[in-house]
Structure 1
Amino acid sequence: MDKTEHVATRVKTLLVQVLQVDIDPEDIADDEPLFGDGLDADSMVALELVSAIEEAFGIEVTDDELRVELFESLRGLVEYVEGKTLSASC
């Protein structure tokens, strides 16, 4: 499992926990929309997910970075988290 797959698996697991749904994280597609017709997340879920991601990955999501585009798809969120973890480890 490469780093991107590892990050994706962790983010999917956190998402399932925050949404409190009975689905297998592996069943969530990487291009799954988080809002709307996708996983039907709302702004409260987004904030809870950000908090869980910050804790799990040891990163900080600044107010400037916290925008709707970040949550358009799971893939975009995973890429963001991966980038933050890379910059935090440098």
Structure 2
Amino acid sequence: MAHTIKGKQQLLARIRRIKGQAEGLEKALETDSDCNAVLQQIASIRGAINGLMAEVLEGHLREHLGPEAGDPQQRGEDLEQVIGVIRSYMK
């Protein structure tokens, strides 16, 4: 997955922010924080995960299904894999 290696530091920074948000949510729940604060934190985490998914998915599509991608059979297999991932993500 060359596209994730190219943006490795950027992706890791995103993951660290998400980790921090999840730790903040855990702390909010442990300290019986206001429901609105907890809900907002959950929404923020979901948005961050969606952004990460979009970034990695875009890189994958460009790398594996773009104009310079490999042979048609491999592209078909890659397409089916991406469809499966998107379906499971959308559940």
TM-score (norm 1): 0.28
Structure with the largest fraction of helix: 2
TM-score (norm 2): 0.28
* Bigger Rg, which one: 2
Q: Kindly indicate whether structure 1 or structure 2 has the higher relative contact order, using CA contacts under 8 Å at least 6 residues apart.
A: 1
